Amino acid sequence: SIYFKCSTKVLEHGVDYPQTQIDRLERLLAEEDSSISPLQREKLSQRLYIWKRFQEPITVSSDALWNFMGRLALNLLSVLGMAILVPLILFARDNYDDEEAETETAKEEIEGEVQLQEQPGTESTEEENREEGEELGSPSPNVAKKLFLS
């Protein structure tokens, strides 16, 4: 935009640059016999107005400055919060479904083992009981009976 161009010119050439541009534009607009079209005159008038705005000093009260800084801080915190929360929401894992599926699978396995133990004809031999006891770290059922009875 033209405001940005004017501000960069002021930064490049110094504080007196707006006055030199105002003088130059006023001379161009003052010449009645020049070959400037009405459209170009309008554009030059707009640029003259903008340069006059850059020449006028502005005063800012401390209350207005604090108000601006407060709003700037709130905006920055909002953007930072959104930058943190949006990825967390978008990329969060939904562990509830996985945990429920694992729980259901474990329950089904336990129920299946209980049903196998309750079915007739699935009695295990002493050797199998001993192997299971050794795997679990507990004594075999026969050893447990002997310890219990003695």
Q: Where are the alpha helices (DSSP H) in the chain?
A: 2-13, 17-30, 38-55, 62-91, 95-118, 126-136, 141-149
Q: Are 48 and 22 in contact (CB under 8 A)?
A: yes
- The per-residue pLDDT for range 35-59, each reduced to its tens digit, is 888 899 899 999 999 999 888 778 8
pTM above 0.85, yes or no: no
d(CA 117, CA 115): 5
Gap between the Cα atoms of 53 and 13, Å rounded: 17
Q: What percent of the chain has pLDDT over 90?
A: 32
- Average pLDDT rounded to a whole number, residues 100-114: 70
